[in-house]
Structure 1
Amino acid sequence: MATLEDDEVDIDPFKIILPDEEGEEKKLTTLFDGAAKPQLQKHYIRSIKSMVVIRQLPSEGLSFQLWPAATALVKLLDDYLSHLSESPLATTLTALSNGSENGRKLKILELGSGTGLVGIAAAVTIGANVTMTDLPHVIPNLKFNADANADVVARRGGTVDVTPLRWGEANDMEVIGREFDLVLASDVVYHDHLFEPLIQTLRFLLNGGARGGEKKVFVMAHLRRWKKDSTFFKKAKKLFDVEVLHTDPPKEGSRIGVVVYAFVGKI
């Protein structure tokens, strides 16, 4: 397995792999040009035998497109519901569920939600109350996708809220609060100028005390693209306990696959 000390990896972030409703993989290449049209992508969640529909807006920028780490994390959530003991998330999610008071639904916060696929998948697979967040200009499309999947989320007993969150902004973080059992994110470590704001946000969320005696957990799916990514992990390991939960095999043309990490806050 490739490590954080390896040389830089040249990965095209616009090559996305999503399973279709028959479970077969199909590759979508979205070209980042002004002529790109809105795309509706159907994603089949096998464990609940239902579709999640996501609108992408390629011409609006990276936050409006599906990235590989998001689909990898959705697959693990799907596997968790289908094969509890085999999923890399089983230990984390089972502990959180057992620690919830009086059968209370898990409260999940997603950072950098983008199109919202991960947060919506968490709501339908776990039946959780999910708050999806991103920058203010991303919120309208995020809300569109939440509304488009409201029926399947409701049938599964979950809820999805959408709210803006600018990393490192004290006012935004205070509005969000710390009352979450689990924090999720995918493909959020790519711009080095965002490393410190993300660290500040995680310190606020994870090191703000525990719920039900359990330490707070941040689960992040990451596809490494640049050597500078290691700077984020070096800083994070000084503040959190970080472990690898799962590693996907590399896709064709790449030397590494998506890695899913668990960051545990220190009380």
Structure 2
Amino acid sequence: MARSRPLLDSNGIDLDNEDDEALDVLDLPQLYTKPPAGVLFATLDDLTSQPHPWEATPRSGIPRGLDGNSGPGRRKRKIKSEGVPHYLTKIIASSLAWIENDVEKEAIWEAASQRLSERSGRMAMGDISRTFAITFQTPDLSAQETAKVDADEVLEIILHEPALTSDSMGLKTWASSYLLAKRLTQLRDSLPRLPPDAQILELGAGTGLVGLAAAVLLKRTVILTDLPEIVPNLERNVRDNAALLVRYDARAETAVLDWSDPGAFLLPSRSGEQQQCLSRTFRLILATDCVYSPAHPALLEQAIGYHLCRSNDARVVVEMPIRKADAAERAEFRKRMLGLGLILLSEGEEVGYDDWGASGGRDDGEGLAEVVCWWSVWGPQ
């Protein structure tokens, strides 16, 4: 018995499907029916499958695209993933002879190719930008007089991620970064009360999510550091969030810091000049996803040992995924932190999501893998 076809409007929208039930690929416009270009464009838009922003929808309820803009006015249809690659391949292989406009044909082929690459993993995609949302509370200055509670705000950080290669993993935003950025809202009251002119150091900042969040939430200048090949994109993300930093009277700077030579670190200043960073300068150091090779525990120990202030309230906050392959490295990291005279003050595990297929987590069926991460706070004995 043939499948009954859904009633579609001129844009290919299923008028009978008002609920959220996912469509089968057979319910999509089939090429033998010679669908107009507009219908194919709408269908390809529905088939967009880009990296998930991990709860990056603002509280206003308006979904944001990867460019940070609100989405189109119409509601996108949910479509089951089974059979979609074959459907897209047929569009790419078709001459689309019934469509007279060559520009429209090229645009359809290009869009179908992009939808197919989106389903081939993060490394098959080009540059992307996405928004991460962090809910936090700001103190109500009139609370003592009016008994008002703190007000919730949503911090939206826009991050650019260049196309990935196997040797540029620092150009991706990882689950542990988003988790720690959100956890800072809970940890900030237990972290040291830093002087107004104090600076916070982030090691291995990657795309800058944690450092930018810390600048706003902790109200201190954060120095986001990474290797030379990572810092240009890091600088871009700081620039792209300049308005956000100004809004919250926050400041973030970038610098190159090689853990193998932590003393060769030039510290940016307000005057624009760089100066040699003295050892034991920072009372708070942040790091995420920083131990994933046998060499990392020793290098991280070296960087922390050089830069961490020796005051009683100094803290190191770290978050990393719990990968089976890295169990020995995590154990070595613990051992080396103890060797620095630091003790574990608090720790915990939490679950996040990654759009990286090799993460080893449990896939949710929509391109996201569940990742268990370990966070820890360290301080002097």
Range class of TM-score, shorter chain: 0.7 to 0.9
For residues 55-134 of structure 1, the aligned pairs below 5 Å read: 55-60=160-165, 61-77=168-184, 80=185, 87-92=186-191, 96-97=192-193, 100-101=194-195, 104-134=196-226
| 2:128 equivalent to 1:39 | yes
The count of aligned residue pairs is 231
Alignment RMSD: 2.9
If asked which structure has higher relative contact order (CA below 8 Å, sep 6+), I would say 1
User: How far did 1:209 drift?
Assistant: 2.6
Amino acid paired to 1:222? M
> Which letter maps to 1:215?
D
Identify if the C-alpha distance between structure 1 residues 192 and 176 changes in structure 2 by more than 3 Å, giving closer, same or farther. Answer: farther
Q: 2:374 aligns with which of 244, 259, 265?
A: 259
Q: Which moved more, 1:243-252 or 1:225-234?
A: 243-252
Task: Supply the AA of the counterpart residue of 2:174.
Answer: W
Q: Which is worse superposed, 41-50 or 112-121?
A: 41-50
Q: Indicate the percent of aligned positions where both proteins have the same amino acid.
A: 22
Measured after TM superposition, the shift of residue 181 of structure 1 is: 2.6
* Cα 1:200–1:182 shift into 2, 3 Å: same
Distance between the aligned counterparts of 1:136 and 1:153, measured in 2? 24
Structure with bigger gyration radius: 2
Encode CA deviations 1:185-229: one digit per residue, 9 max, x unaligned: 1100111112211111111122x432xxx4311100111212222
Determine if contact 2:263/2:306 at 8 Å carries over to the other structure: no
The structure 2 residue matched to 1:19, chosen from 43, 48, 55, is: 55
Given candidates 316, 330, 339, the residue that maps to 1:218 is 316
- Letter of the 2:320 partner, please give it: H
Q: CA deviation at 1:176?
A: 3.4
| Residue 161 (1) aligns with residue 253 (2) | yes
Residue by residue over 1:121-168, the C-alpha shift from the partner in whole angstroms, topping out at 9 and shown as x without a partner, is 111222220100000111100000000001111111111110000003
1:143 paired with 2:232, answer: no
Among candidates 241, 245, 264, match of residue 347 of structure 2: 245
Aligned residue in 1 for 2:328:
228
Measure, in 1, the Cα distance between the counterparts of 2:333 and 2:298.
8
With over 3 angstroms needed to count, the CA separation of the structure-2 counterparts of 1:136 and 1:202, relative to structure 1, is same
CA 1:17–1:233 in structure 2 vs 1: closer, same or farther (change >3 Å)? farther
Structure 2 counterpart of 1:218, one-letter code? V
For 1:164 and 1:29, locate their aligned partners in 2 and report how far apart those are by CA, in whole Å: 34
| DSSP 3-state at the match of 2:131 | strand
Contact kept, 8 Å, 1:74 with 1:117, in 2: the verdict is yes
Instruction: State the TM-score, normalizing by the size of structure 1.
Output: 0.76
Does 245-254 or 50-59 show the bigger shift?
245-254
Secondary structure in structure 1 of the residue aligned to 2:129: strand
Q: Does the Cα contact within 8 Å between 1:16 and 1:66 map onto a contact in 2? A: no
Gap runs ≥5 in structure 2: 1-50, 65-117, 137-152, 267-275, 354-360, 363-368
C-alpha contact (below 8 Å) 2:285/2:315 kept by paired residues: yes
Distance verdict in 2 for CA 1:32–1:89, change over 3 Å: same
If the length of structure 2 is used for normalisation, what is the TM-score?
Answer: 0.55
Aligned counterparts of 1:162 and 1:256: Cα–Cα separation in 2: 28
Whole-Å Cα distance in 2 between the matches of residues 162 and 30 of structure 1? 33
Distance 1:167 1:16 in 2: 31
Closer, same or farther: CA 201–20 of 1 in aligned 2, 3 Å: same
Partners of 1:30 and 1:106 in 2: CA distance: 45
Aligned to 1:7: none
* Aligned mates of 1:255, 1:148 — CA distance in 2: 29
